[in-house]
Structures are given as structure tokens and as C-alpha cells.
Structure 1
């Protein structure tokens, strides 16, 4: 089987193909793992950071995850065997999370991983910005297969305005919002996240618009403001990449509170009682 990496910036019939043995299991490219993730979804979670992302968010703190087709090759079984060593710490809500990079770049691997995870009784969480999403086939069918074995998703809305989104990330947001609306209409539980960046995303007009948009969605269990930080600047310097937000400081506590009010974060409390599905959907 071939793991296909779909590039929505190119014609949709043009695929990046990273080969694996035709008679062997799908392999994913893993940047790193975190055994006790406390901020990567409900409960304590084993988080796999997958390699590859096509967006170039100005505030990205992991530019070392951008390249596609590099990293440690792992099968779903290998990754899950590693994760299960920590199962005793997960409790009723924990499990595994796939983050990135952008997890959906490795869609075939994700489907295989989450299918096997659910068969083992492991809760699954997808951390995504949604950039690869398309309703074109065969990608859309694979995405729906993924959602059938995903307990909850962490969805990062970079900017509600598509023009500003493109300035910030290199891509518009129409397909991303389309993904979120499909998830809302199809019973997919999610947390919505928004990174608050002075001079980029901290604008009351757009924050209010984003807050109004989230109100139209179903199955939103939590809304989070993530304050911008500068912890990734050192990586840019080490990689010889110009850091786009040089000189911009993290938002003040008052601006974070303002954003939380405009996004009505206190209204979304489902996460307090949320529990994963016990069996494969």
C-alpha cells in the first residue's frame, strides 16, 4: 500500500507519494512523541507529533516539523505499543493525540492508527488546523473514515477572515471552515482553539466575528485562547530561517481576557463531563 500525501496547493490529481513496501503496513513519519501530554486534549495523553505541514504560520514554534517525508518511520502498531506503556495514567478521558506539523498531511496513516487504537480501546484525539481538507475524492472518503474513529478533535482557527488568514499562514481559510462545518453537522466533538498574537490576530472586530461564528457550530466542547509565545524563536535562528514576528511580544493578561470574553469561552463547558466512546464508532 502507498501512503499518499495530498497537496491542496497543487492540482488534486497530483499526489506526493512516499513509498512503503507494497505488501507491508502503512508507515507514518513521526517528528517526536510526548508521553504525558496535559494540554493536548482531554485528560493525560500520549501525543505523537507527525512530520509535515504546508502552512507557514508566522508564529509557528515548530518549523522543524514542516518538511514532508522525513522523521522516524513508524507503523501504527509500533506507535501504539509505545503509547500503551503509559495507559495506566490516562484515566477515563485520556488516550492518544496526533498533532504536528499538520496531522492530516498523513491521512492514510492516521486512519490506520486510529482504527487500530479504537480496536485496542484507546481514546483518539486529532489536533489539526484543517489546511489539507477537501471534499474531492479519494481524500474526502478517507477523512470521513478518520472521523468515524476519532473521539474528539482540537481544531485551530488561525483567523476568521480569509484574507488575513492567507497573510498569516500562506493559505485562505475557506476549506478549513468547510471542514469545521462538516464536523459540526456530522456529530464530531471538538475543541476550538485560537492563538492570540498582537498585531496579527488580536483585533476586536475579528475576534467578535470569530465568536459569533463559533456560536453557529454544534458539538463544541471547549473554546480556548492560546497566548502567543516566543519559545520557538531559537529554532528559527538555529535553522537559519528569518523569524517573521521579530520584536512582537506575547499578549498582556488583559488582552487575553478580552479575547476570552469576545469568544465567549466560559459558555463552552461540555469538556468538563465529556467522555470518549468506548467502542469503535
Structure 2
């Protein structure tokens, strides 16, 4: 069984091609800019049997084409790694491309088996390049968990994309972008980095939960700032995409 928050049938921003996207319930981080804060609490969600989800994926398979498939996001999907192993195994048997969108904080026996054997692609969210910045954004310490996860994926030789949210003055500064590029420039498994310009579309969800949204003062990026960030990162990565 998987505890699922919601399912999107025709996702186009969660990996290659057209995808069925499962947003799982539960996350140990509470990122200041989270646009799905209702997925954070591990309580809630709806239990789905793996057979039911596999049937959904098979029905959608004609729409996937050569590139599409199934992406599991969250929340943090690797909190349910043990249940995801048989799910991804079944999808692989059906010839369906599998992708995990993760913050990289869960690296244990189950998550390693999942990403080593059954995840065709991993999309890793890099929150910040400094410990202070990581704690400010996520509410948790130890940014090294993300980088340990990246090292593990690199060692597997299997495809990885990075994702990075651009917040003016917080994550979108030249020194941080160069630091990220320098850190990952020798990685051979990274196919691209996706930049997510900061937006405030999730504020109403925070308010509905009775939580204070702490980035109200942050502004959205200008086109010039986004272009400048892309230009910096193009020195380090094969492909830089702005979502």
C-alpha cells in the first residue's frame, strides 16, 4: 500500500515526456517555499493498493510515448521506499519508465535498493549550498544528506537531474550558483539542472492550514536575474532548463 496525496494523469513538468505523477503524503522537511504544504503531514492521504496504481499506469501507457512514464513525488516519496520497491518493479516489468523526485534525505537499505535497481531517473532537489541556508529553508540541519545521496546516485551510473529554486537574495546569488556548479561539475550522471523561479502560488494553502508563510517579503525573479543564473550554470551543466 502507498499513502497518496493526489494523482496527476498527464504531468508534463515532472520528468521526460507525458507522465502519471503520484504525490505521496508525508515529508520531514518544511521548506519555506513549499507549494504543496498539505503533503507535509504524514497523516492524511489515501491508501492505494499497488495493483490499482499499476493498472492506472498501464491504462495511461499509450499516452507516455517513448519518453514518458511514472513519476513519484511528494511530500517525500522515499519515506515510503519499502512499498515503492514492488510498485516500481511491476512498472519495469510493464516497460514503463520510472522516476523519483526527492529531497535526498532518506538513504537506507530500502531507498538504495529502489534507486539502484528500479528508478530509471532521479530528480534531486538541491535546497541550498550552505548549512545555514539549508536550515533556514528546510527547518532541518545537515545539508550533507543531499550530497551523500547525490554521490550514491552518481556511483550507480544511472541518470539524475537536479532541481533548484531561485529565490532572490537567498538562493539566487552568483556565489551560490558557482558553488553548486563547482560541486557537481565532475558528475557524469547529471543530464540537466532545472531551475524553478520563485513564486507565491502556494500561500493560500499555508493560510488554509493555519500556518504562517514566512517568505511573504521575498519577491519573484526578474527575467534578467533568471537569464543571469542560467548563464552561470551553463558553464557547469550539459543542459540548464527554466521551468
TM-score w.r.t. the length of structure 2 is 0.94
Match of 2:182 among 212, 219, 226: 212
CA-to-aligned-CA distance 1:143-162 (integer Å, 9 cap, x gap): 22102111011111011112
Q: CA deviation at 1:266?
A: 8.3
1:34 aligned counterpart, secondary structure: strand
In the TM superposition, what are the counterparts of 1:113-132 in structure 2 within 5 Å? 113-132=87-106
The answer for the alignment partner of 2:138 in structure 1 is: 169
CA contact (8 A) 1:223 1:265 kept: no
Matched, 1:35 2:9: yes
Q: 5+ residue gaps in structure 2?
A: none
Matched, 1:234 2:197: no
2:31 aligned counterpart, secondary structure: coil
In the TM superposition, what are the counterparts of 1:71-220 in structure 2 within 5 Å? 71-133=45-107, 139=108, 141-147=109-115, 148-171=117-140, 172-220=142-190
The answer for the alignment partner of 1:5 in structure 2 is: none
Q: 5+ residue gaps in structure 1?
A: 1-26, 134-138, 272-281
- Shift of the 265–45 alpha-carbon distance from structure 1 to 2, 3 Å rule, reads farther
Q: CA deviation at 1:255?
A: 0.9
TM-score w.r.t. the length of structure 1 is 0.81
Show structure 1 runs of 4+ deviating over 2 A.
Answer: none
**In structure 2, how many angstroms separate the alpha carbons of the residues matched to 1:120 and 1:87?**
9
Q: CA deviation at 1:269?
A: 4.4
CA contact (8 A) 2:193 2:240 kept: no
**In structure 1, how many angstroms separate the alpha carbons of the residues matched to 2:163 and 2:170?**
15
Match of 2:29 among 55, 61, 64: 55
- Shift of the 265–233 alpha-carbon distance from structure 1 to 2, 3 Å rule, reads farther
CA contact (8 A) 1:222 1:265 kept: no
CA-to-aligned-CA distance 1:121-144 (integer Å, 9 cap, x gap): 1110010111223xxxxx2x2222
CA-to-aligned-CA distance 1:12-56 (integer Å, 9 cap, x gap): xxxxxxxxxxxxxxx110000110000100110000000000101
